[in-house]
């Protein structure tokens, strides 16, 4: 059984060297002032016997539940009023989504990493920041938490939930499917790119305040993306959020554009992971791929 002190010290992951975000970098003997976390193995059976692994999944479930409950309930209040000036307005909705992400990432970062979004989890998985078992577990718990959050809102709203649209995502009138897909891809790219940048090990070492402030730019990115995308798609950028409302709403209209809100975020997350790992942080990429390729070509010519 894991000791309490060790569990608290290592936070979300017993295997601290693969903790993807919100972990302060340390010095090492090779002249760098930070440690580049080694890639996580694709499968890590030891995780399945660690309580911290399941605790992290529970944290993702609860965080996504609260995220959906507060945000979708805010949307319902906004749609319900005939005079929109009496409600929070579009700017208020964007603040709710961004503010909830800020608060929930701050609360859960030391336990699970504070993903609260399958697209974020997928992007970090592509960068080998976590194992496939942890990635799948997080995604499942995020979707379950989102479904429960939307279901509680429906329980409060009753028949009005369906009448008011259920907070589902769909491409707005006047915009094409391609434009909606593009908005979701770019919006998710902004979010996942911000996550990578705000939690970069090199920046954490150079600027000691970065781990503390990391939830702020992530939440602010969500706020800005919502301001831009609400008129186009209602803003998904989170497959768990979009899927949960479609399931609870359970109407053909809610499923028409659903593929956009599943494919778009995962494409955006993939592009953000590639951009950060290949362009912004090219040293590991060069040392593991390009340099070996040139060395192989040089030997063959010799």
Q: Please, what are the domains in the chain? A: 45-283 (1.20.1080.10)
- This prediction has a pTM of 0.80
- 3-state secondary structure (DSSP) of residue 238: coil
Q: What is the pLDDT of residue 297?
A: 63
pLDDT of 45 over the 80 cut: no
Q: Residues 6 or more apart from 146 whose CB is under 8 A from it?
A: 64, 65, 67, 68, 240, 241, 243, 244
The long-range contacts involving 71-79, CB below 8 angstroms and separated by at least 24 positions, are: 71/96, 71/97, 71/100, 71/167, 71/241, 72/149, 72/150, 72/153, 72/166, 72/167, 72/245, 73/153, 73/156, 75/167, 76/153, 76/157, 76/160, 76/161, 76/164, 76/167, 79/164, 79/165
Q: What is the largest CA-CA distance in the chain?
A: 78
| 104-135 pLDDT tens trace | 999 999 899 999 999 999 999 998 889 999 99
Q: Identify the weakest region by mean pLDDT among 53-62, 205-214, 219-228.
A: 205-214
Which is higher by pLDDT, 295 or 68?
68
Q: Averaged over 182-195, what is the pLDDT?
A: 96
Q: What is the pLDDT of residue 108?
A: 93
Q: Which helix (H) or strand (E) holds 258?
A: helix 258-274
**Which token pair is 33?**
């002032």
């Amino acid at each position: 059984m894991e000791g309490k002190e060790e569990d608290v010290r290592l936070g979300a992951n017993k295997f601290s060297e693969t903790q993807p975000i919100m972990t302060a970098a340390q010095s090492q003997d090779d002249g760098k002032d930070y440690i580049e976390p080694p890639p996580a193995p694709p499968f890590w059976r030891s995780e399945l016997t660690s309580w911290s692994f399941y605790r992290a999944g529970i944290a993702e479930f609860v965080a996504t539940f609260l995220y959906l409950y507060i945000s979708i309930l805010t949307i319902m209040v906004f749609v319900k009023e005939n005079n929109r000036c009496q409600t929070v307005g579009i700017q208020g909705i964007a603040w709710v989504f961004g503010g909830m992400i800020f608060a929930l990432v701050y609360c859960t970062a030391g336990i699970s990493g504070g993903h609260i979004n399958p697209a974020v989890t997928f992007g970090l998985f592509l960068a080998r920041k976590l194992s496939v078992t942890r990635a799948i577990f997080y995604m499942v718990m995020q979707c379950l938490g989102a479904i429960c959050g939307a279901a509680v809102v429906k329980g409060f709203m009753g028949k009005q939930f369906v009448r008011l649209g259920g907070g589902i995502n769909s491409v707005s009138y006047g915009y094409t499917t391609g434009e909606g897909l593009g908005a979701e891809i770019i919006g998710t790219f902004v979010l996942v790119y911000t996550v990578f940048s705000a939690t970069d090990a090199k920046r954490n070492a150079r600027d000691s305040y970065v781990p503390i402030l990391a939830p702020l730019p992530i939440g602010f990115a969500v706020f800005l993306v919502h301001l831009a995308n609400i008129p186009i798609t209602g803003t998904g950028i989170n497959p768990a959020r979009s899927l949960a409302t479609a399931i609870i709403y359970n109407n053909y209209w809610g499923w028409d554009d659903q593929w956009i809100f599943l494919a778009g975020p995962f494409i955006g997350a993939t592009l953000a992971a590639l951009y950060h790992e290949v362009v912004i942080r090219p040293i590991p990429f060069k040392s593991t791929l390009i340099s070996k390729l040139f060395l192989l070509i040089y030997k063959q010519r010799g």
